Chains A and B, each alone.
Chain A
Amino acid sequence: MISTFEQRRRRTGLFFVAPALIVLAAILFYPIVDSILLALQRVQLAGGAVTQQWTGFGNFERLFADAVFWKAARNTAYFSVMEVVLVTFLSLGVALLLNHSFGRSGFFRILLIVPWALAPVANAVLWKWILNANYGVLNGMLKSLGVIENNQVWLGTPFSALNFLLIVDVWKSVPFVALLMLAGLQRVPQSLYRAAYMDGAGPWRSFLHVTLPTMRGVIAIAIVLQTIWSLRVFDLVFVLTRGGPADATVLLNFLAYRVTFNFLDLGYGAAIANIIFALTFLLAAAYVWLLWPREPKGAR
């Protein structure tokens, strides 16, 4: 009897999963396979048609000899690591603030959501104007506060430009992750804190031994999703700097775009996209392996 019930559960499970998998496969299978195959081809637009020619790993060889690719890879490494670290810590901080009795007002919740809900196109143009070196409001504000004497070209030097892209992206990304964290915090049972208090734990130790362990799953998924998203940042670069000055803000995904859509070098662009895919896959797998709560029952 039991085995039949188990069999039925297994059949129903497959029946439940299948539609989603079929739909995802129907949309993505051909594009993903095609993009992997494109990376092994030289694609040219000629004679009113697209000609494809197999080149083996030629695109990848070219990639590894391409200084711009390595520059983009370095920029991306810096950007992604900083982005994930900053977003995770700031979001945790914001969540702790909003979980305190002072921060529970609905006003803060709505305030948290607005940057996330703002259309990325408008967001990027908004920041382009805020950061403008001549008439931007950031310069105007800092000048009237006496913090700076002359206008600063925030997007003018490689270091500063990349970091301002980072700040804007963090501003846009914190809300969603902070929501996740806030939700996680609210799930920590008060009884655990009380028990820790009985054991004589102070605020810092109860945060370390009660809050963080319970939040492990939340933090893990925040880091995994944020890693995936940070490697796909595109619209900010496209609107704010176009990769400049002197390729200082070219990130891998922007490079993939530039090569694919501006240079129409579809094979080479697909090769870059595949590198992004491989990189994300490895990172996400590593995080899941490292951070995922092993035994759900141990968490409580």
Chain B
Amino acid sequence: MSFARLREGGPLRKTVILAGLALFTFWSAAPILWLIISSLLEQKALIAQPPDLSPQNFTLENFSTVLAAAAALGRGIANSLIVSLFSTALALVLGAPAAYALARLPVPRANSIAFLILATQMLPGIAIAIPLFIVISKLGLIDNVLSLGIVYLSFNLPIVIWILRGFFLGIPSGIEKAAAVDGAGIFATFWYIVLPISLPPLSAAAVFAFVEAWNEFFFALILTRQQAQTVPLVIAQFAGQYQTVFGQMMAAAVISVAPVILLAVLFRNQIIRGFADGMMKG
């Protein structure tokens, strides 16, 4: 058995891999496919058993209805973009130096601090919602996209720190020593040497923070009123007390997921490499 054969496997393993990939494709794609089909069907066809997929039932009306209510969806997408970008940018600006320090600099009890940062994620959001609302409303910052973005730091910053810290731990120490010998200060080393080689993990952390902020529902429900409403709240509008217009809701979901997929397509290589670097070592 050659080495290449060992890595690729014989006919049996290849068959297993192909079957596995087929299964994986079905498992991931089937619900999504149904989502897209639903967004193109009238409610009447969706409640038939089995669902009535005859061509005359297909329509773009769900999309046109959702787009006609575009004021809400458009504002929601704009708000979500601001909240997500703002929160992601802050998480990186604050998280990268912190992760670097916790990984590379002699910060006392760095491991405990890192675990403490993770521990902030362990109290359910439901528990902190009301006290958080009190603080934000005393500050007069309810229904404000920027305050929502700052609140989102509470879950984005810790995860960003953990992803980046793993990466920084894996940087060979020779690089920093060489910089120090050349007379570069710690800050200069971080800025001119460490950050430029960290673009993949930085973009991976950015995508993570962006997606989480884009999809967050509960804080958005509590902390916004009308102006700062984000996309998930707009999607939820299609499920009322007595009626859920499923096709319209799915059409809204398709529209709202598009920017995230676009981002993922653009960054797909960075996501993989970034996480690889970040998670390499604890």
Instruction: Tell me, yes or no, whether A and B come into direct contact in the complex with CB atoms closer than 8 A.
Output: yes
Inter-subunit contact A121/B280 (CB<8 Å): no
- Interface assignment of B3: CB less than 8 Å from any CB of chain A: yes
Inter-subunit contact B265/A110 (CB<8 Å): yes
Contact of B102 among A17, A114, A261, A273 (CB under 8 A): A17
Give chain B nearest CB distance to A20 CB in angstroms. 4
Number of A-B contacts defined by CB within 8 Å:
310
Contact of B249 among A102, A125, A134, A232 (CB under 8 A): A125
**Chain B residues with CB under 8 A of A62:** none
Interface residues of B in 16-59 (CB under 8 A from A): 17-18, 20-21, 24-25, 27-29, 31-32, 34-35, 38, 46-51
Inter-subunit contact B24/A16 (CB<8 Å): no
Complex CA–CA separation, A121 to B249 (angstroms): 10
Which residues does A use to contact B, with CB under 8 Å?
A: 5-6, 8-10, 12-17, 19-21, 23-24, 27-28, 30-32, 34-35, 38, 93-94, 97, 100-103, 106, 108-122, 125-127, 129-130, 134-135, 137, 139-141, 143-144, 151, 171, 175-176, 179-180, 182-187, 193-194, 197, 202-203, 206, 217-218, 220-221, 224-225, 228, 231-232, 234-235, 253, 256-257, 260-261, 266, 269-270, 273-274, 276-277, 280-281, 284-285, 288, 292-293, 296, 299
Q: Given that A217-B279, A228-B121 are known contacts, is A183 also in contact with B253, CB under 8 Å in the complex?
A: no
Interface residues of B in 104-163 (CB under 8 A from A): 105-108, 113, 115, 117-128, 130-132, 135, 150-151, 153-154, 157-159, 161-162
Inter-subunit contact A12/B131 (CB<8 Å): no
**Chain B residues with CB under 8 A of A113:** 261, 264, 268, 271
- Interface assignment of B205: CB less than 8 Å from any CB of chain A: no
Inter-subunit contact B232/A296 (CB<8 Å): no
Q: Given that A13-B105, A28-B120, A129-B38 are known contacts, is A97 also in contact with B272, CB under 8 Å in the complex?
A: no
Complex CA–CA separation, A182 to B277 (angstroms): 11
Complex CA–CA separation, A276 to B214 (angstroms): 25
Contact of B272 among A103, A121, A179 (CB under 8 A): A179
Give chain A nearest CB distance to B101 CB in angstroms. 4
Inter-subunit contact A276/B124 (CB<8 Å): yes
Contact of B124 among A120, A143, A253 (CB under 8 A): A253
Contact of B127 among A35, A134, A194 (CB under 8 A): A35
Inter-subunit contact A186/B211 (CB<8 Å): no
**Chain A residues with CB under 8 A of B126:** 234, 253, 256-257, 260-261, 269, 273
Inter-subunit contact B272/A183 (CB<8 Å): yes
Q: Given that A10-B106, A108-B21, A117-B211 are known contacts, is A217 also in contact with B153, CB under 8 Å in the complex?
A: no
Known contacts A27-B132, A125-B239; 19 additional CB pairs below 8 A are: A20-B97, A28-B120, A32-B128, A35-B131, A110-B268, A117-B211, A122-B256, A126-B34, A135-B46, A151-B49, A171-B31, A180-B279, A184-B280, A220-B282, A256-B124, A260-B130, A273-B126, A276-B127, A284-B115
Give the nearest-CB partner of B125 in chain A: A232
Inter-subunit contact B244/A16 (CB<8 Å): no
- Interface assignment of B197: CB less than 8 Å from any CB of chain A: no
Q: Given that A111-B25, A121-B217 are known contacts, is A273 also in contact with B282, CB under 8 Å in the complex?
A: no
**Chain B residues with CB under 8 A of A121:** 217, 232, 235-236
Give the nearest-CB partner of A102 in chain B: B17
Task: Give the B interface residue count (CB, 8 A).
Answer: 109
Complex CA–CA separation, A185 to B102 (angstroms): 25
Inter-subunit contact B17/A103 (CB<8 Å): yes
Please list the 9 inter-chain residue pairs (A to B) with the smallest Cβ-Cβ separation, ordered nearest first: A13-B105, A140-B50, A273-B127, A183-B276, A122-B253, A183-B275, A16-B101, A31-B128, A20-B98
Inter-subunit contact A30/B264 (CB<8 Å): no
Give chain A nearest CB distance to B235 CB in angstroms. 5
- Interface assignment of B225: CB less than 8 Å from any CB of chain A: no
Inter-subunit contact B49/A183 (CB<8 Å): no
Inter-subunit contact B6/A197 (CB<8 Å): yes
